[in-house]
Chain A
Amino acid sequence: MWRRQSSPYLLLLPALLVLGVLFLGGLAVAFEQSLGVMPALGRLSPTLDYVRIVLASREFWTGFGLTAYIALTATVLACAAGLLLAVGLAAAGSRSDTLLARLPLVVPHTVAAYLTMIWLSQSGLLARLAFRAGLIREPGGFPALVNDPYGLGIILTYVWKEAPFAALMLYPPLAAAGRGLLDAAATLGAGRLQRWRHVILPLVAPALGAVALIIFSYTFGAYEVPFLLGQTYPRTLPVAAVERFLSPDLADRPVAMVYNLVITLMTSAAVWLYLGRLAPRLERGKGT
């Protein structure tokens, strides 16, 4: 039901102003600086030199690869875990379960990284338990799960934090359909696998796509967790960008902005994918 309104544009104005100026404006300046334009230093002519330097550097591409790998793995695992959690909650969960499941949402990423360090470092709690159990004899015997080359600590932290978030988004369509649908399918003779393929997955598909895109974008552009749990080299793109931005050497500033640009482009692509392809499907799905 659409209603006639005093111009919707007026209602939108404050939000458009705020986000337009702060967000788009900030990105515009970042873009400008990536081209080497820094009026405060008297540099007014744009140049592609910095872009060239970055695109030619091994450091950038290794960082890009690492960032994408971590984001993809974290997304897949978090979505899978979130889906299982949502199904579990919809099927048998109680009030306090949902509350417990939402605990990680309230824990900031910094603290989550801390927890990973405390539990999973080579001298961490799990390692000490392993020692007690006689499985290892010194810290070096425990696998490297933080500050490790495969970003395992980072990925695990993200999964712990984002799975509840995914569950939160996937729960409504499952709960709305209710147990009824699942039970009906069971009575009609559908096996476990079939229930998944033909009932659960179609129910959550649009929301799953949205959640996956959100988690991917977030983990791609995040700073805190990779900074705390990552390796000396290579660094993920956001960590490298901040390091360059805070460097006293001004020549690093445009390089930082090129990194920022790449991050912005990757995550904007995710938004475009969501709004362009998934949201319309979500709309259509509502009609069913």
Chain B
Amino acid sequence: MRRLSLLWFGLPLVPLVLWSVAFGWRWPDLLPAAWSFRAWHYLGSPPAGLGPAVAESLFIALAVTLLALLIGVPAGKALGTCTFRGRRAVEFLFYLPIMVPGASAAMGLQPWLIRLGLTDRPAGVVLVHLIPALPYLIRAATAGYAALDPLVEQQARTLGATPAQAWRLVVLPALAPALAAGAGLVFIISLSQYLLTLLIGGGKVVTLPLLLFPFISGGDRAIGAALSLVFTVPGLLLFWLLDAWLRRYRLEVRL
């Protein structure tokens, strides 16, 4: 199992490392003819715009995650614990953006956002990123709340906790794994958006995917490979960290 996973999932990424330091790698060579750090050198230089693109990507992803949490947790609470009229309709609306591509909505929104002055700026991009991302958080929050045992919170209250304390010490820890998973997903979704950022950001809001795409659709392979690595490796680290944190958390709660 281990070897298969490594082969199928890990191996494909190896040529990226080679390409990023290749100087001339033509058919039918299995290894580059010469080596050069030109691509990495360029990425480290200001004209490449890597630093600002990373900052922009992170800023937008963080804003989207924060907003998604603020908007999605209450919605998850409603869906996870209450029964009410119109529930099916609400679920349908919340589920739509997961399956229906947000690009169509973004194309429709564009003229309005231009009028409101929200195009070409991160604020507009944050808004459109919410379209595909928010539903995932709502789902996670709903699942989290649905799995809550209301009796535990009640017990905390009878033992003298204030509503705020009960929420902080009982409800939140129980919700945390679900919310963390949902927030992680939202973060990654925002980070990897290309089309939405392009349509609303107008090319002026440059995130990592925008920087990357032109190199992939043709052009400098070395730079494209290096950028791909820059993109993927931090995401990997984030996932690994999140995983480790989630595991620890689950252990604590059980104790």
Chains A and B directly touch (beta carbon < 8 Å): yes
Instruction: Please count how many residues in chain B sit with their CB below 8 Å of the partner chain's CB atoms.
Output: 85
- Contact of B75 with A28 in the complex, beta carbons under 8 Å: no
- Contact of A264 with B104 in the complex, beta carbons under 8 Å: yes
**List of A residues within 8 angstroms of B188 by Cβ:** 105-106
**Is B2 on the interface with A (CB-CB < 8 A)?**
yes
- Contact of A18 with B103 in the complex, beta carbons under 8 Å: no
- Contact of B15 with A29 in the complex, beta carbons under 8 Å: no
Interface residue tally of chain A, by bracket?
Answer: 35 or more
> Which of the listed residues A96, A103, A256 has the most CB atoms from chain B within 10 Å of its own CB?
A103
Q: Answer whether A164 and B9 are a contact pair too, CB < 8 Å, given A128-B28, A256-B107.
A: yes
Measured in the bound complex, the distance between the Cα atoms of B111 and A14 in whole Å is 23
* Partner-contacting stretch, out of B33-41, B43-51, B78-86, B172-180: B78-86
CB distance from A18 to the nearest CB of B (A): 6
- Contact of A111 with B231 in the complex, beta carbons under 8 Å: yes
**List of A residues within 8 angstroms of B225 by Cβ:** 114, 118
CB distance from B7 to the nearest CB of A (A): 10
- Contact of B109 with A25 in the complex, beta carbons under 8 Å: yes
- Contact of A217 with B78 in the complex, beta carbons under 8 Å: no
- Contact of B1 with A92 in the complex, beta carbons under 8 Å: yes
Measured in the bound complex, the distance between the Cα atoms of B2 and A97 in whole Å is 6
Q: Answer whether A22 and B130 are a contact pair too, CB < 8 Å, given A8-B84, A11-B77, A29-B112.
A: yes
- Contact of B75 with A14 in the complex, beta carbons under 8 Å: yes
**List of A residues within 8 angstroms of B199 by Cβ:** 245
CB distance from A247 to the nearest CB of B (A): 12
CB distance from B223 to the nearest CB of A (A): 12
- Contact of B105 with A2 in the complex, beta carbons under 8 Å: no
**Is A144 on the interface with B (CB-CB < 8 A)?**
no
Query: Contact partner of B99 among A18, A33, A271, CB < 8 A?
Result: A271
Q: Answer whether A107 and B235 are a contact pair too, CB < 8 Å, given A132-B28, A256-B107.
A: yes
**Is A3 on the interface with B (CB-CB < 8 A)?**
yes
**Is B119 on the interface with A (CB-CB < 8 A)?**
no
**List of A residues within 8 angstroms of B107 by Cβ:** 26, 30, 241, 245, 256-257, 260
- Contact of A106 with B71 in the complex, beta carbons under 8 Å: no
- Contact of A114 with B104 in the complex, beta carbons under 8 Å: no
- Contact of A107 with B232 in the complex, beta carbons under 8 Å: yes
- Contact of B150 with A3 in the complex, beta carbons under 8 Å: yes
Q: Answer whether A27 and B78 are a contact pair too, CB < 8 Å, given A108-B231, A111-B231.
A: no
**List of A residues within 8 angstroms of B213 by Cβ:** 110, 224
Measured in the bound complex, the distance between the Cα atoms of B111 and A92 in whole Å is 53
- Contact of A110 with B240 in the complex, beta carbons under 8 Å: no
A-B contact pairs, 16 of them (CB 8 A): A1-B151, A2-B81, A5-B77, A23-B105, A25-B108, A26-B108, A30-B108, A88-B4, A97-B1, A106-B235, A107-B235, A132-B30, A223-B195, A268-B99, A271-B98, A274-B99
Question: What are the nearest 4 A-B pairs in CB distance?
Answer: A26-B105, A221-B101, A30-B108, A29-B108
